[in-house]
Amino acid sequence: MTRLHICVILLGLIARLGEAQPTRSPRLWMFHRDGRWSLSVRGGGNVWFNDFDRRRLAGAVEISARHAFTRTFSLGIVGSYNALQANQFELFPGTPLQFDYIETKGLSADIVGWYHFSSGGRFAPYIYAGVGAYQYKRKVSAGIPYPDDRKTTTLHIPLGFGAEVMFSRHVGVIVDFGVRIMDDNTDFWRGEGSGGLVDFYATGKTGLVLYFGASDSEDEDGDGLTNAEERVLGLDASRADSDGDGLGDGEEVNIFRSDPKNPDSDGDGVRDGDEITIFKTLPTNHDTDGDGLSDGDEIARYNTDPLKVDTDRDSLTDAEEVITYHVDPLRGDSDNDGLSDAEEINIYKTHPQRSDTDGGTVSDGQEIRNNTNPLNAADDVPKPATPIEVGKAIVLEGIVFEAGKTTISPSSVDVLLRALRTLREHPEIHVEIRGFTDNVGSLAVNMRLSQRRAVAVREWLIMRGIEAGRLRAKGFGPAFPIADNTTPDGRARNRRIEFFRTK
């Protein structure tokens, strides 16, 4: 492979590195070297200082590979091909010299350390020092080997300074100046020409430097963590959200203290990002409100508030309602009996899922209001003193209908319950349920209305277990008033239900 081919390949590699560099924000574009390998190729010239008295410029090529252990310190290997040349004037006029020209050509290899003065900048001056060896052959005029054709090795100490100017995170220009100290015998003379102690050469080179990978100090994915921090934590330095939970790795590590490698840090079934942005719960505590239910169960299973211990404010925690008592954590009165779940459990010892714990036909809440025992069915409905006599009627006072309607009002329930109790205890009784109205409106309308009211009471009793054959409904309209229809109170009394015993 010719030198031309090598140059073409190198230029192609540099172009591809430049094209592969994405557009980044200024913060991400800052150049960092720590943790990265670099390769540099430089060319230039050498000036040899030895026991000859005429200096000549000769060419040199240098390649270095190094690793930056910190932002300021790099260590690597430098290899170079060097040509060194010098001439000698006649010592005395007319006195010919054995030879008036000498050159060496050979390879050097050194271990070198660099100290970089700039951290994070694109312009980075540095100094360096190292130690190694230079192996060479000497020639004199006409290319004659001198004193023989064997290779000679000398101590090689590189010292110098330079600077890098980075075009991108991967490609830059390097300029380097320095000296290379050798022993005093590289020119095969020991004398005073180079100071009497050593031979050395000054060198100046320029070229390209290529950096590979990403720096430890760099935040490649912009998540608030450096590449070194992500490597220590086992994260993907090229992804801002390694676990895909909706939170950046830096947020998880530095703010929320959640696990950036686990999308559900606390194992409650809710992604960390959803806990923070949607539900406002803690991604590191599976039960944010401490009510005994996990945030995931409250959100997805029970629809309770994961930030409230008692969602329905009935003095029972959500977990007590769901796990211990099996009641609805979203309703303070699960059975709708007028008593809260907490009152039923803690005070009255009734069943919070059954509106009538003792099955006596009166709801627990109504029994408490009636001062009866909701755990004893016997006292739910007071027993009538005497049943209705055959052929006689009794007005069920307290059964109230709104004007023009057939709906039985809640205040009528207690009266009907007493009638229900009588019919249950006396299965031999058959009754005609008679409906009456006031005289407001037409007779036809009132007849239909009174019939529907009587039917409504009959159906209420049948739904509670009274045989349909024992009950008959009949409407009488405004007939047989028991009060004055000219007053509101009288009309209300005339809108009544009577039980007439037929058997």
User: What residues contact residue 17 under an 8 Å CB cut-off, 6+ apart?
Assistant: 168, 170, 171, 210
The β-bridge partners of 177 are: 161, 204
Distance CA 332, CA 312 (A): 5
- pLDDT at position 464, please? 86
How would you write the pLDDT of the chain (503 residues) with one tens digit per residue? 444 444 444 444 444 444 344 433 444 457 888 888 999 999 999 999 988 888 999 999 999 999 999 889 999 999 999 999 998 876 656 555 567 889 999 999 999 999 999 877 789 999 999 999 999 999 988 889 988 899 999 999 999 999 999 998 899 999 999 999 999 888 887 765 455 578 999 999 999 999 998 888 888 788 888 888 888 898 988 888 999 999 999 999 999 999 999 999 999 999 999 999 999 999 999 999 998 999 999 999 899 999 999 898 888 898 988 888 888 888 888 888 888 888 888 888 889 888 888 888 888 888 887 768 888 887 776 655 456 677 666 766 667 666 667 777 776 777 788 788 888 888 888 999 998 888 888 999 889 988 998 998 899 889 888 999 999 999 998 998 988 988 988 888 888 888 888 88
Distance CA 327, CA 325 (A): 6
Distance CA 485, CA 480 (A): 11
- pLDDT at position 265, please? 92
User: What residues contact residue 340 under an 8 Å CB cut-off, 6+ apart?
Assistant: 314, 315, 332, 333
- pLDDT at position 139, please? 92
Distance CA 275, CA 349 (A): 38
Q: How many other C-beta atoms can be found within 10 angstroms of the C-beta atom of residue 208?
A: 17
What pTM value is reported for the model?
0.51
CA separation (Å) from 140 to 44, 99, 105, 145, 429? 23, 7, 12, 6, 146
